[in-house]
Amino acid sequence: MKAKAPRSIWTNPIHFLAFGFGSGASPIMPGTCGTLVAIPLYWCLAQTNWWLYGAITAAAFVIGIWLCGVAAKDTGVHDHPGIVWDEFVGFWLTMFLVPLTWYWIVAGFVLFRLFDIVKPWPIKWLDAKVKGGFGIMIDDVLAAVYAWLILQALVYGKIVLMAHG
């Protein structure tokens, strides 16, 4: 049986953040809904310079370890499907240094969700073995790294083709 989102997400600020401003309360595909909510926040982040973007994303990761750990403990469900702060950070990492256009956002969204859902090695292993807030965050970070590497190859490949074409 799927864990339901606790009512506390509307009254507890920690749960509200961990559950992605309520997006994790979606009864279907809460991770995908959380990633969708991360897009406008990404757009705001992308307006900054690269080092501020990186610093904010790193801070969101560290804060996320605590947020997700507290929310998991309070709900009694390790990596509750509605805890989507990790999807926020994962999407922001995926999009780091990627041009701000709708098609790169779509590509980043699809690649991040693919790796987060399929969980190729060692993501699935980390998801099963590492517990607590760090465990909740780290599998999404690694999914983001996989997606980021592919996006960077595509961005770089497009730039090279444009320079020679």
Q: Which two tokens stand for residue 153?
A: 């190859």
Report pLDDT digits (tens) over 90-115.
999 999 999 999 999 999 999 999 99
For residue 162, the model assigns a pLDDT of 57
For residue 22, the model assigns a pLDDT of 93
Length of the chain: 165
pLDDT of residue 124 exceeding 50: yes
Report pLDDT digits (tens) over 27-61.
899 999 999 999 999 999 999 999 999 999 999 99
DSSP string, 73-111: HHHT-TT-TT--HHHHHHHHHHTTT---SHHHHHHHHHH
For residue 160, the model assigns a pLDDT of 52
For residue 1, the model assigns a pLDDT of 45
Phi/psi zone of residue 132: left (φ > 0), alpha (ψ -120 to 50 degrees), beta?
Answer: left
For residue 9, the model assigns a pLDDT of 87
> What is the pLDDT averaged over residues 5-24?
91
**Using 50, 70 and 90 to split pLDDT, how confident is the model at 78?**
confident
Report pLDDT digits (tens) over 146-162.
999 999 999 988 665 55
